[in-house]
Amino acid sequence: MNKLAAWLNDHMFTCFWKKYLGIECPGCGMQRSVVALVNGDLKASLQYYPALLPMLILFILLLLHLKYKFRYGARFLQINFIFTVILILSNYFYKLL
């Protein structure tokens, strides 16, 4: 484990929903997924939180679109956003079952 991953692993936040309500939130697993991705373990990252990579792609594309104003960039961002939200919600409901 590299220094960044070790630091991230040592400084994870506690999930408010899980601590006080006893259920996982739609973002539970994201921190572990980031640590796994920093360690280079793509498979574990996708298992912890499948929406992390689409979210990262969404933010990168958003920054690129704001800088370069791609012709169909806004439409592509909308599609990627909808896909990411569907992935987050489906993962959340799957964890609830």
42 within some domain: yes
19 within some domain: no
61 within some domain: yes
Alpha carbons 35 and 6: distance in angstroms, whole number: 8
- What single-letter amino acid sits at 85? V
Alpha carbons 17 and 7: distance in angstroms, whole number: 24
45 within some domain: yes
72 within some domain: yes
pLDDT digits (tens, 9 = 90+) for 34-81: 999 999 999 999 999 999 999 999 999 999 999 999 999 999 999 999
50 within some domain: yes
Q: What is the pLDDT of residue 97?
A: 85
Range of the domain at 73: 3-14+24-96
Q: Regarding predicted confidence, which is higher, 22 or 86? A: 86
Q: Please name which of 90, 62, 1 lies closest in space to residue 37, comparing C-alpha atoms.
A: 1
40 within some domain: yes
Q: Answer for the pair 57, 77: CB distance below 8 angstroms, yes or no.
A: no
DSSP 52-89: HHHHHHHHHHHHHHHHH--TTHHHHHHHHHHHHHHHHH
Q: What is the pLDDT of residue 84?
A: 97
54 within some domain: yes
Number of domains in the chain: 1
Mean pLDDT of the chain: 93
